[in-house]
A and B are shown apart, each in its own frame.
Chain A
Amino acid sequence: MLCPPEPSPGPQPLDGPPADPPTSPLPLGPPERGADSSPKGPPSPLAGKDSSFEDLEQFLATSERRGQSPGGPPEPATPGLKEPLLEQLRSTVKDIHNAIDRLLSLMLLAFEGLNSAVSKDRCLACIEEPFFSPLWPLLLALYRSVHRPQEAALSRSMELYGKAPPAAIGIPSKLLPQGPEATGTGTYPYRAAAQELGLLVLESCPQKKLECIVRALRAICACAEGYHRAHEPAPDAEPQPGTAAIGADDLLPILSFVVLRSGLPQLVSECAALEEFIHEGYLIGEEGYCLTSLQSALSYVELLPGGPAHAAETGTSCTGGSTAFAPALT
């Protein structure tokens, strides 16, 4: 088992007395955590960690039981029901961040040489897979209970628009195939991207999931370029680099179409969890852009106008949002 070493023995780590951490900057995760990493905090980090996972399992068991008896109304009123879930999620998220911080600290205590920005990133990358793989299914279940209204709205939209032609989602015809691929029964445009999203839900390591999202968006760009080229069989020399390059104006409608075809409402929960746990350095880069775009497409799809049943179902969760920008479905 992992056990924090005694602080007393001989060579102290370079990092000064253990009393100063709350003020020391650590380039990880949200700042609120600083508050409870004070030395007078939880008596034993490991006990804290174990019990929080037990809590999570216990919580999942009870929420399943609750789900199995749909007849009887749950004890608290609807707003009260959401609160404990959110609270549970928040504290679980915090526990996970703390656990990762501790693992990182242990690695740095064990190997002083790792104490550089680059090495820390490496350490975190190494921790990630063994740490998250067993945890992700449980964590996702928790995220899914919290995001149940969004998932319901998404699957509703997927039902209503899952077979809608790409032009209905606002994809211009120059970015669509003309040939058999356009009308073929077994396939649809941008299928490669939807397949990548399908792989995402099979992975259990955040980094690998993120890679699936990046590959999905790259697939969109590659397909778009291919379709565009096919429209303009430019006989005059090389096509100018960048003339077929699509910007967000095209990317988002295509991504929304891909989301609809994927038929995976749980993507909204996956993305929420990824946003929380991927390395902060990725948020500004290509990976962050891809995640943000997928989240945007998901909320766009979620808010597509539905039938009256849709309004009743999601009326509580999206406060007035759906009327604010009724999408222009032509």
Chain B
Amino acid sequence: MAVAGGGGGAAAGRAYSFKVVLLGEGCVGKTSLVLRYCENKFNDKHITTLQASFLTKKLNIGGKRVNLAIWDTAGQERFHALGPIYYRDSNGAILVYDITDEDSFQKVKNWVKELRKMLGNEICLCIVGNKIDLEKERHVSIQEAESYAESVGAKHYHTSAKQNKGIEELFLDLCKRMIETAQVDERAKGNGSSQPGAARRGVQIIDDEPQGQSGGGGCCSSG
């Protein structure tokens, strides 16, 4: 069950549930990247029955419990049009390119545009240059990639799935950013500017506190 665990009080004991989509062209190594991340040294049975397509991870960041659901998407051009149904309601997106493949970086740019258009600024974007073990064959300059990321409000990371470099940091940082975004969201809601559109978003914080049952009013008015 993916529902966020209930918590008692106001600030403590909550679990955040975040959905993260993984985007990237065919051979950039996104599958290896998530497999690396989720094959945990304390528990190597982390890989679900859906293998690398859908992975989950539980984290504890500064006392905050986080359930991460990582959704892989198909990188082939012919499935591109199906993207929106995967990334709706995502809290974060990891856009992977191969540093030796200029083309894969262009693809990332297209996805960024699309994500910003569909999901606005609420989604935390990570642009990831993978395969830094092949530094000698680099075709995407670090500076270009980093300044592009900055220009679109994304963060840039360097990883090597092969050598297991930079991956923990990437996910940890993303989680922290998603928590921040969720907290800003909560505060905004607390101020009474709750948007009805937020009800179907991925983050659900469920309190055990008794609360009014909507629909109850309609029920009782017939008396």
A residues adjacent to B (C-beta < 8 A):
4-8, 13-16, 18-27, 30-34, 36-45, 98, 101-102, 104-106, 108-109, 115-118, 121, 170, 217-218, 221-222, 224-225, 241-242, 244-249, 251-253, 279-290, 292-293, 295-296, 299-300, 303, 321, 324-328
- Please determine whether B210 and A15 come into contact, CB atoms closer than 8 angstroms: yes
Report which residue of B31, B56, B78 has the largest number of chain A beta carbons within 10 angstroms of its beta carbon: B78
Within 8 A of A (CB), among B1-19: 1-3, 6, 17, 19
Nearest 9 pairs of A and B residues by beta carbon: A285-B2, A24-B212, A281-B3, A247-B31, A7-B220, A245-B51, A101-B215, A31-B196, A18-B217
Whole-angstrom CA separation of A43 from B69 in the bound complex: 43
B residues adjacent to A (C-beta < 8 A):
1-3, 6, 17, 19, 22, 26, 30-31, 34-35, 39, 44, 47-54, 56, 69, 71-82, 85-86, 89, 196-197, 199-200, 202, 204, 206-208, 210-223
Whole-angstrom CA separation of A218 from B47 in the bound complex: 12
Whole-angstrom CA separation of A225 from B48 in the bound complex: 13
- Nearest Cβ distance between residue A239 and chain B, in whole angstroms? 13
- Nearest Cβ distance between residue A289 and chain B, in whole angstroms? 4
Whole-angstrom CA separation of A148 from B74 in the bound complex: 27
Known contacts A27-B206, A325-B78; A20 and B217 CB within 8 A of each other: yes
- Nearest Cβ distance between residue B69 and chain A, in whole angstroms? 5
* Chain A positions within 8 Å of B74 at CB level: 248-249, 251-253, 296
11 contacts between A and B (CB under 8 A): A5-B220, A25-B199, A25-B214, A26-B211, A101-B214, A104-B215, A108-B216, A242-B47, A246-B53, A283-B89, A284-B2
CB nearest to B48 among chain A residues:
A286
- Nearest Cβ distance between residue B66 and chain A, in whole angstroms? 13
* Chain A positions within 8 Å of B19 at CB level: 284
- Please determine whether A289 and B208 come into contact, CB atoms closer than 8 angstroms: no
Choose from B6, B51, B79, B214 the contact partner of A34 (Cβ within 8 Å).
Answer: B214
CB nearest to B220 among chain A residues:
A7
Known contacts A24-B214, A242-B35, A247-B31; A285 and B69 CB within 8 A of each other: yes
- Please determine whether B50 and A45 come into contact, CB atoms closer than 8 angstroms: no
Choose from B39, B78, B200, B215 the contact partner of A37 (Cβ within 8 Å).
Answer: B215
Whole-angstrom CA separation of A71 from B2 in the bound complex: 50
CB nearest to A281 among chain B residues:
B3
* Chain B positions within 8 Å of A38 at CB level: 217-218
Whole-angstrom CA separation of A224 from B76 in the bound complex: 19
- Nearest Cβ distance between residue A132 and chain B, in whole angstroms? 18
- Nearest Cβ distance between residue A228 and chain B, in whole angstroms? 11
* Chain A positions within 8 Å of B82 at CB level: 252, 296, 299-300
Whole-angstrom CA separation of A115 from B3 in the bound complex: 16
- Please determine whether B30 and A247 come into contact, CB atoms closer than 8 angstroms: yes
Report which residue of A106, A109, A242 has the largest number of chain B beta carbons within 10 angstroms of its beta carbon: A242
- Nearest Cβ distance between residue B193 and chain A, in whole angstroms? 13
- Please determine whether A296 and B222 come into contact, CB atoms closer than 8 angstroms: no
- Please determine whether B212 and A16 come into contact, CB atoms closer than 8 angstroms: yes
- Please determine whether A241 and B47 come into contact, CB atoms closer than 8 angstroms: yes
- Please determine whether B2 and A282 come into contact, CB atoms closer than 8 angstroms: yes
- Please determine whether B77 and A21 come into contact, CB atoms closer than 8 angstroms: no
- Please determine whether B221 and A18 come into contact, CB atoms closer than 8 angstroms: yes
CB nearest to B71 among chain A residues:
A289
CB nearest to A221 among chain B residues:
B51
Whole-angstrom CA separation of A16 from B213 in the bound complex: 9
* Chain B positions within 8 Å of A170 at CB level: 76, 78
- Nearest Cβ distance between residue A50 and chain B, in whole angstroms? 14
- Please determine whether A325 and B81 come into contact, CB atoms closer than 8 angstroms: yes
Whole-angstrom CA separation of A246 from B72 in the bound complex: 10
* Chain B positions within 8 Å of A116 at CB level: 6, 208
Whole-angstrom CA separation of A292 from B50 in the bound complex: 13
* Chain B positions within 8 Å of A292 at CB level: 71, 85-86
* Chain A positions within 8 Å of B212 at CB level: 15-16, 20-21, 23-24
- Please determine whether A39 and B221 come into contact, CB atoms closer than 8 angstroms: yes
Whole-angstrom CA separation of A282 from B215 in the bound complex: 22
Known contacts A34-B196, A296-B79, A296-B82; A121 and B1 CB within 8 A of each other: yes
- Please determine whether B53 and A251 come into contact, CB atoms closer than 8 angstroms: yes
Known contacts A4-B220, A280-B200; A104 and B213 CB within 8 A of each other: yes
Whole-angstrom CA separation of A32 from B201 in the bound complex: 14
